[in-house]
Amino acid sequence: MPTRPYVIDEMISAKTIAARVEALAKEIHDTFRDTDKLVVVGLLRGSFVFIADMVRELDLPVEVDFIEATSYGDSTESSREVRILKDLRGEIHGRDVLVVEDIVDTGYTLQHVVGLLRARAPKRLKTVALLDKPTRREVDIKADWTGFEIPDEFVVGYGIDYAQRNRNLPFIGAVRFLEP
């Protein structure tokens, strides 16, 4: 998809993200300290960097699995219709589960995925989102842990894309469109 010309302004540095991931991992560890194994579920594609850093900070027995949901396609606007493109490989019935999301915007994606996974009767299910845009919320959902609350700006980096670009930036940046 063609994109309008834009520049990226750094919003959250790689160092600040790393410190926050470490702090989140400590809180998550405290909650799941007695687990026999924690199934850490990354929401593809945006969470692939966050989950990679998170599991390496978690001093717990973990299993890693992925689910792919999409509501945006290559657009900047949510379609509000969440589609599951790839389901988990493993069973989560009776298991401890942590869902790892990169960003909660309207909330439709997280709400849909949590509903889907809760229906499989996990023992405990918790959610962590690196970023939250509370002013954009359209459904009543909040992650159990949030890295950073951010204003309503289009962000990229640390796994998050604009039209499939910029996922590989080590920091979170705000997209600023150039005129016209």
Active-site positions? 105
DSSP letter string, 133-171: -GGG--SS---SEEEEE--S--EEBTTB-BTTB-TT-SS
Number of other CB atoms surrounding residue 102 within 10 Å: 26
DSSP state of 27: H
How far is residue 173's CA from residue 157's CA, in Å, rounded to a whole number? 6
Residues that bind ligand PRP (CB under 6 A): 43-46, 70-72, 78, 101-110, 161
Question: Shortest Cβ distance from residue 166 to ligand PRP (Å)?
Answer: 11
Q: Which is nearer to ligand PRP, 60 or 130 (CB)?
A: 130
Question: Shortest Cβ distance from residue 56 to ligand PRP (Å)?
Answer: 20
Q: Which is nearer to ligand PRP, 60 or 131 (CB)?
A: 131
> Residue with structure tokens 């600023």?
176
How far is residue 101's CA from residue 6's CA, in Å, rounded to a whole number? 25
Query: What are the residues facing 174 on neighbouring strands?
Result: 9, 155
Cβ-closest position to ligand PRP: 46
Question: Shortest Cβ distance from residue 17 to ligand PRP (Å)?
Answer: 16
At residue 114, φ and ψ (nearest 5 deg) are -65, -40
Question: Shortest Cβ distance from residue 49 to ligand PRP (Å)?
Answer: 11
Q: Which is nearer to ligand PRP, 73 or 170 (CB)?
A: 73
At residue 71, φ and ψ (nearest 5 deg) are -135, -5
| Residue pair 145/132 in contact by the 8 Å Cβ criterion | no
Q: Which is nearer to ligand PRP, 37 or 165 (CB)?
A: 165
